[in-house]
Structure 1
Amino acid sequence: MSGQNVTYRNFDSFEKETLRTLKESGATSTFNSMHNLKRQTLQTKANSIVPVTLKAANKKTISGEKLVAERSEGIFVVSRYAPKMVRDEQVVAGASAVVLSEDGICVSNYHVFEPVIDTTRVLTPLDSIFFVAAKSGKIYPITEVLSYNATSDLAIFKIDPKGDKLTVTPVGQDLPAGANIHALTHVYGHLFYYSKGVVARNLCTSELNADTNRSDITADYCKGSSGGPLFDDCGNLVGIVSTTQSIYYNEQSQTDLQMVVKTIIPISSVLRLLKQQ
């Protein structure tokens, strides 16, 4: 893809642009509120199997440039609208989500949706509207949480595509240690951040519970990347971001940072919550 024009974008204005779109469209009064979403989620059972039509895996290797160009619009910014109270009204971009189907089924982390799933969590007046925004600037309401698993740290949810043709992410398979892996996530303050690495190891905390399966990788990400996708060399979804662990030479005082281990959820854990139609 050499010789292509390079586009430079001011991502620092993304939240302000999203707020303007939200206000001009009247979405602050029509989108599903977090309080309504929480009431709906009380009816959702953990580990519910969600019927979905997944996009078949690509077979050909693609370049990093093509991966970013073709997958970005299918990676949403999970956002929250906070009304004017102590501070001016604002949109806060807090995490990532991936489009799995044309009708708006998406996946993110359980911990991203925990405020509306966990019955012990109390919402505040600042917990107003939970929605997603695309790279193009389009915004979509989150209509319901379809399934979740706290152990695998996954939440399957539905948006209203509002008649738009969504960019659906093809789904691949778990990767072995040593395989290349690509991250395209919303690093804190740095939306749509691409990095590349390898699967460092595959692990679990219980051989009897596949929901504890995880992979450590060397592709870079940090907070804000929760729910973000990991891809194989063909651009297929192979995992979802979960956590990071900072390792210090002196753990007691947390000084002399030596490395940060990035841990992801393998795609097999996502597929256990889905049923291909």
Structure 2
Amino acid sequence: MKISKSFYFLILFSCLFGSAFAQKPKSGVIDDLALKLRFQKGLEGLHNKKLGTSLVTLGGQLTRRNTNFKLPEIKLESIHYEDFYERCKASVLVVGRLYKCGKCTKWHASSASGFALSEDGVIATNYHVVDTKEGVVLGAMDSNGKTFIVSEILAANKSDDVALLRLRDAKLSPLPLASRAAVGTAVSVISHPDGRYFTMTKGDVSRYFVARSKTGQANRMAITADYAKGSSGAPVLDSTGAVVGMVSATNSIYYSKVKGHNENLQMVVKSCVPVDAIHRLLR
């Protein structure tokens, strides 16, 4: 495929002057590149100040099965559809690690999702987001572009794919946890699919099922709201803005396989962690 000179210029321009874009975007308009660079620079700054907990240390804390952290009491109330996105977006976080790719000398930041459970820095995300030693520190960024370092893993469960983390010196806007949502309940997801930060999609709870893997089995909740890579750990919300689940994975269904290759994609199942799994870590 022929690539134009303007494409190469764009790449060179981003490398040389990318930091100039690492600023807070205008209200209501999301600049994905600016947020990506802001997160990376924020993690770099915290790492340079030696404020981070190493990924090796965090990995050793993944065996913690529960925490005595108490959820704050948050009154559940109906949210007008025009206010829903901005209200809930304030509680959604970008979660990622600072690492070097081995192909260059620059720092990079991975990107997944998470959400706040308390004002003083307790957040939730997936186990698989945290379960890595590739990098130096793990952190999170709120919708205002402020970056915090992960200081501790409070509790985690690999089969349920849930981890509760504490951020250092954070002040957040927490989401309440609901009880299990019935099949047919309307839900929304706010996540960061492939770096499209703070994207909201809508759908319904379609069923509950047992998911089996090499590490065991766990209950999962399927929804029809769309999401993709980078959405792991995002909240699944009911109409009151309460969490009824958390994004975990996708499973593609193909009609046929030809010479070892899947063909004719029919459906993508959106597999989520039910809110029950988060509640269990709090016992």
Residue segments in structure 2 that go unaligned for 5+ positions in a row: 1-25
Aligned to 2:77, which of 48, 59, 72?
Answer: 59
Matched, 1:31 2:31: no
In structure 2, distance between residues paired with 1:20 and 1:43: 26
Query: Counterparts of 1:105-144 in structure 2 under 5 Å?
Result: 105-115=122-132, 123-124=133-134, 127-144=135-152
**Contact 1:77-1:132 at 8 Å conserved across structures:** yes
Query: Counterparts of 1:9-20 in structure 2 under 5 Å?
Result: 9-20=30-41
| Amino acid across the alignment from 2:48 | T
2:18 is matched with which residue? none
User: What is the CA-CA distance between 1:44 and the residue it aligns to?
Assistant: 5.4
Matched, 1:45 2:63: yes
**Contact 1:217-1:264 at 8 Å conserved across structures:** yes
Aligned to 2:172, which of 142, 166, 173?
Answer: 166
- 1:210-241 Cα distance to aligned partner (Å, 9 max, x none): x7121111000011100010000111111000
1:86 is matched with which residue? 103
1:7 is matched with which residue? 28
In structure 1, distance between residues paired with 2:67 and 2:261: 44
Pick closer, same or farther for the CA change 1:195–1:29 going to 2, 3 Å. Answer: same
1:156 is matched with which residue? 164
Larger relative contact order (Cα-Cα within 8 Å, sequence gap ≥ 6): 1
Pick closer, same or farther for the CA change 1:96–1:55 going to 2, 3 Å. Answer: farther
Query: Counterparts of 1:225-240 in structure 2 under 5 Å?
Result: 225-240=231-246
TM-score, structure 2 as length reference: 0.81
> Displaced runs of 4+ in structure 1, greater than 4 A?
none
In structure 1, distance between residues paired with 2:67 and 2:143: 29
TM-score, structure 1 as length reference: 0.83
User: What is the CA-CA distance between 1:145 and the residue it aligns to?
Assistant: 0.8
In structure 2, distance between residues paired with 1:26 and 1:47: 28
Query: Counterparts of 1:249-264 in structure 2 under 5 Å?
Result: 249-251=255-257, 252-264=260-272
**SS of the residue 1:254 aligns to:** strand
Residue segments in structure 1 that go unaligned for 5+ positions in a row: 116-122
**SS of the residue 1:89 aligns to:** coil
User: What is the CA-CA distance between 1:71 and the residue it aligns to?
Assistant: 1.5
| Amino acid across the alignment from 1:29 | K
**Contact 1:50-1:147 at 8 Å conserved across structures:** no
Pick closer, same or farther for the CA change 1:84–1:272 going to 2, 3 Å. Answer: closer
Pick closer, same or farther for the CA change 1:174–1:18 going to 2, 3 Å. Answer: same
In structure 1, distance between residues paired with 2:107 and 2:66: 34
User: What is the CA-CA distance between 1:159 and the residue it aligns to?
Assistant: 0.6
Matched, 1:68 2:88: no
Aligned length: 253
**Contact 2:156-2:164 at 8 Å conserved across structures:** yes
2:184 is matched with which residue? 178
**Contact 1:55-1:169 at 8 Å conserved across structures:** no
**Contact 2:248-2:273 at 8 Å conserved across structures:** yes
**Contact 1:79-1:94 at 8 Å conserved across structures:** yes
Pick closer, same or farther for the CA change 1:216–1:22 going to 2, 3 Å. Answer: closer
